[in-house]
């Protein structure tokens, strides 16, 4: 990829679900966690996160998260 004009792939995971408490991060039912997808960069992940968050705005307990997978896969590069 280097030298081709393409940016480095930095994987991000977007997922969410209904939480047990507004201030926490514990899911009410793990079998209902919504895995939105894995994205090649933060901008794409943020767009997906924003779309899902807006769809669930009426449920205060619904939360979506972005996980920086590239930091977990290669912690020395972060």
The answer to whether position 3 is within a domain reads: no
Cβ proximity of 70 and 77 under 8 Å: yes
The answer to whether position 4 is within a domain reads: no
Q: Report the pLDDT value the prediction gives residue 8, as an integer from 0 to 100.
A: 83
The answer to whether position 52 is within a domain reads: yes
Cβ proximity of 50 and 69 under 8 Å: no
- The pLDDT tens digits of the residues spanning 25-57 come to 999 999 999 999 999 999 999 999 999 999 999
Q: Report the pLDDT value the prediction gives residue 64, as an integer from 0 to 100.
A: 97
Q: Which domain holds residue 54?
A: 12-77
If one counts the domains in the chain, the total is: 1
Question: Is a pLDDT exceeding 50 seen at residue 1?
Answer: no
Q: Report the pLDDT value the prediction gives residue 5, as an integer from 0 to 100.
A: 55
CATH at residue 58: 3.30.70.2400
- The pLDDT tens digits of the residues spanning 60-75 come to 999 999 999 999 888 7
What is the number of alpha carbons within 13 Å of residue 4 lying toward its C-beta?
6
């Amino acid at each position: 990829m280097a030298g081709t004009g393409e940016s480095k792939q930095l994987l991000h995971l977007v997922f969410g679900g209904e939480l047990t408490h507004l201030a926490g991060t514990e899911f009410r039912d793990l079998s209902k966690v919504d895995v939105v997808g894995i994205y090649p960069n933060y901008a794409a992940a943020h767009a997906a996160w924003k779309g899902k968050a807006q769809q669930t705005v009426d449920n205060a307990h619904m939360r979506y998260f972005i996980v920086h997978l590239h930091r977990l896969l290669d912690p020395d590069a972060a």
